Amino acid sequence: MIKVTGLQKSFGDVKAIDGVSFEAADGRITGLLGPNGAGKSTTLRILYTVLKPDAGTASVDGVDVVENSLKARAGMGTLPHGSGLYPHLTARENIRYYAQLYGVAENSIEERIDSLIDELDLSDFADRRTRGFSQGQRTKVALARALVHGPQNILLDEPSNGLDVMATRSLRELVRTLKNAGRCVLFSSHVMQEVAALCDEIVIIADGKVALHDSPDGIRNATGCDDLEDAFVKAISSPGER
Amino acid sequence: MRTWQIVFRKEVLDNFRDRRTLLSALLMGPLFGPILFAFVINLSLKQSLSSDTEALQLPVIGQQHAPNLLEYLKSNNIDIIDGPADRAAAMQAVKDGIHDVVVVIPEEFGAQLADATPALIELISDLANTSAEREARRAMRVLQRYNQELAGMRLALRGVSPLLMRPINVDQVDVSTPSGRSAILLGMLSYFFIFALLTGGMNLAIDATAGERERGSLEPLLCLPVSRDELIVGKILSACLFMALSLSLSLVSFYVTLKFVPLEQLGMTPNFGPLVVLGAFFLLVPFTLLGAALMTLVASFTRSYKEAQTWLSAVLLAPTLPILIVSILQVRPSLELMLVPSLSQHLLLNGLIRNEPVNIAHAAVSVCATLALGAALTWICARLYRRESLLG
C-alpha cells in the first residue's frame, strides 16, 4: 500500500508538485494520469526515494520513504523512466545482479529468475547480451529485474512507452496478474486509453496538483462526460471544479 | 555477499566484456610506454654509437695543399671525400644540408705551416643542426689533436719538452655506477607506470556516474535497497583492480623491453630485475585507490561520457607535475617529500633502479600518505553520490 500526503517539491523556482495526496491500495491498479510535465515522474521519484520532498510525507506499506528509505525501497519494485540495462551482460545476468542487490537468498535466485523468464516470456533472448535488444525486450527484462524480489508494491513510470501492440498487451496482462496476486500497482501514463483499460483507480495530476481521484466510472460521473478522454481534458483544464 | 562485493564482481565481469576498457587497460596503457621508450632509446643509441665507431665522411676542398693532415685524418677514422668546387659552393651545400661539415684548406696552408705562422683551415658547418654539430665537433677534435701534435714536435725540435704545454693534467673521475647512470634515462619510467595505471581504470571511473547516467541505468540502481556508499566503494574498487592489472602488465612489458635495449653499450646497467619489478608494483599499487577515487570524483561532475573523457585526460597529466618540478630542482628524497603522491613513487622507484637500498621509513610514509589521500577522496565521492542532483 502506498500513501502520499501533501507532497511538495520545487526545482529552483519551478514548482514540480504542489500538495499531491493519494492512496494506492493493495490488490488494485492505480494510474497516475496527466499531461507531460504535470509532476507524475517527480511524485514517483519521491516514492522510490531518489528525490526528497520539500514538504509532505510518503509511505510504502507504512514505512516512511524519507525516514527509512532503505526499508521502503526493499518493499518496492520499480521501473523508472527508460530501462537502463547493462549492454555487456545477458538478460539473465542483468536480472541476477539486481536479485543479489535486492538481497534475494542466494540459493533461490536461479529458480526465481527462471520463473520470471517463463512468466514474462523472455526465454528466446534470456542468455543473449542486451546490447541491441528491442524496446519491448528491454522493458520486459527491466520489469523482470524489478519483480525479482517479489515486491508487494510495484511502481512503473510510463512502462508502455515505445512498446508495440503485442508488448503492450502482455504488459497489461502482467499488471493484472500482479493485481490478482494482491499487489499494489502504481503506474504513470499520459495515455488515456491505457489507464482506462487497466486501472481500478485513476489519479489525474495537472500542474503539480491532484485534479481528480476516482474510479473510471466515478470520473465519468464527476465530469459529466461519457468518454474518459473528454473527462480527462475537462479535469485537467479546470482543476478543482467537479 | 556484501553489496560492494556484488557491485565489484559485476563491474569486473561487465568491463572484461567491454572492448573499450580492455583496449585501454590491457593494451594501450601497458604497451604505449615501453614501445615509445624502446623506440626513442634505440634511436638515440644508434645515433651516438654510430658516430663514434663509424668512419666520418669528410669532404675536403684543397686536398692537395695538406697531404700530411689528410693522412692524419685518415688514421683517425675519417674518410676523406671530394668536396664541392669551391668555398662558396661548400657554404651553400652545408646550408642545403647536402653535407654536414666541409673542411676548406686554402692554397697558403703549406707556406704558412712552413713559416710557423698560424695556418688557416676553415671548418664549415651548421651548428643549429644537432647531428651536423656532432660531426663538426668530431672533425674539430681531430684537427685540434693534430694541432697539438704539430706544436709538440716543433717544441721538441727546439729542445723544449712538449710537456711544458701541459701545466695541468685534469683527470675526471666518475663515481656514478652503471645502474646510477641508467637512472637518468629510466627516470621517466615512473610516469609511464602511473600513466598506464590511470588509463587502466579510466573507463570504469567514468562509468560509475556519467556512464550509468547516460545509459539510464543509474536511476533503477539507486532505487535498490542498498546504501549508495557501498555502490560507489564497489565501483571504485573495481577500477582499482583494472588499474593494478594495467600496472602489472606495464611493469612486465618494460621488463621484457629492457632486455632488448642495448643499454650496456652506453655504460648503463638498468637494475630492473624481477625483484625490482615486484618492489615497484608494491610501491605503485597504493596509487590505484587515489587514481580511481580522483577519476571517479572528476567524472561525477560531468554530464556525459565524452565530457568525462576530456576532463580525465587532464587528470592523466596531473601526476607529471610533481615529477617535472623535482627533475628540474634536482631534490634528494626526504621524509616530507614522501607525503606527496606520484612524487614519492617517482623518487622511490628511481632509488630502486639506482640499486640503492630501500628506505623503509620513506616507503612506509609514501604508501600510507597515498592510501590516506585515496581514502579521503573515496569518502568525498561517496558524499557526492548521495546528492539528489546525481541523476542529472
Read off the pLDDT of residues B56-112 as tens digits, 9 standing for 90 and up. Answer: 888 999 888 888 888 998 888 888 888 888 888 888 888 888 888 899 999 888 888
Pairing of strands A63-64, A55-60: antiparallel
- Structure confidence by residue, pLDDT tens digits, A185-238: 999 988 877 888 889 999 999 888 898 888 888 888 887 777 777 777 877 776
Q: Does B13 touch chain A (CB under 8 A)?
A: yes
For residue B30, what pLDDT is reported? 82
Contact status, residue A153 vs residue A75, Cβ threshold 8 Å: yes
Rounded to whole angstroms, the Cα distance separating B263 from B271 reads 11
| Mean predicted lDDT score pLDDT of chain B | 86
Tell me whether residues B1 and A146 touch, CB distance under 8 A: no
Instruction: Write the pLDDT tens digit of every residue in A29-52.
Output: 999 988 888 889 899 999 989 999
To test the contact with chain B by mutation, choose from A60, A101, A139, A152 the residue with the greatest count of B C-beta atoms within 10 A, namely: A101
* pLDDT at residue A85 in the model: 93
Looking at A98-181, which runs of residues are DSSP E strands? 153-157
Where b means 16+ CB within 10 Å and e means fewer, B138-166 reads bbeebbeebeeebebeeeeeeeeeeeeee
Cβ-nearest to B220 among A71, A84, A93: A84
Distance from the B216 Cα atom to the nearest Cα atom in chain A, whole angstroms: 4
What part of B 214-243 touches A (C-beta under 8 Å)?
Answer: 215-227
Q: Residue type for B357, please?
A: P
pLDDT value for B227: 92
CA distance A24 to A146: 19
CA–CA distances in Å: residue B259 to residues A188, B23, B184, B254, B256: 66, 25, 18, 9, 5
The answer for residues whose C-beta is within 8 angstroms of residue B373's C-beta and 6 or more apart is B290, B341
Q: Residue B323 contacts by C-beta under 8 Å, 6 or more apart in sequence?
A: B190, B191, B342, B343, B346
Mean pLDDT, to the nearest integer, of B149-178?
84
The complex scores an ipTM of 0.90
CB contact under 8 A, B216 and A76: no
| Contacts with A61 from chain B: Cβ below 8 Å | none
Question: Hey, is the C-beta of B14 within 8 angstroms of any chain A C-beta?
Answer: yes
Q: How do the residues of chain B divide into helix, strand and coil, expressed in percent and rounded to 5? A: 70, 5, 25
> Is-above-0.90 flag for pTM?
no
Would you call A139 an interface residue with chain B, using a CB distance cutoff of 8 Å? no
Q: Residue A64: what pLDDT? A: 94
B100 contacts chain A (CB < 8 A): no
Q: pLDDT category, B294, cuts 50, 70, 90?
A: very high
Distance separating alpha carbons of residues A95 and B233, to the nearest angstrom: 21
C-alpha cell at B160: 723544449
Question: In angstroms, rounded to a whole number, what is the distance separating the alpha carbons of residues B95 and B124?
Answer: 10
Residue of A41, A61, A100 to mutate, interface with B, max B Cβ within 10 Å: A100
The closest CB to that of B217, out of A52, A84, A101, belongs to: A84
* Short-list A204, A162, A208, A154, CA closest to A181: A154
Q: Is B178 exposed, middle or buried, given 0-12, 13-18 or 19+ CB atoms closer than 10 A?
A: middle
**Interatomic CA distance for residues B307 and B284, integer angstroms:** 28
CA distance B208 to B226: 16
Higher pLDDT, B10 or B333: B10
Rg (CA), chain B: 31
B304/B309 Cα distance (integer angstroms): 9
Mean pLDDT of chain A: 89
Q: How far apart are CA B337 and CA A226, in angstroms?
A: 81
Instruction: Note whether B17 contacts A84, CB cutoff 8 Å.
Output: no
pLDDT of A242 > 50? The answer is no
Reading the block at residue B252, the C-alpha cell is 612486465
pLDDT of amino acid A238: 60
Residue B42 has pLDDT above 80, yes or no: no
Q: What is the pLDDT of residue A183?
A: 94
CA dist B176 to B183, B267, B349, B377, B386, Å? 10, 10, 18, 41, 55
At A8-29, the pLDDT tens digits run 999 988 889 999 999 999 999 9
Sheet holding A201-206, edge to edge: A76-79, A153-157, A184-189, A28-33, A201-206, A209-214
Query: Band of the pLDDT at A241, cuts 50, 70, 90?
Result: very low
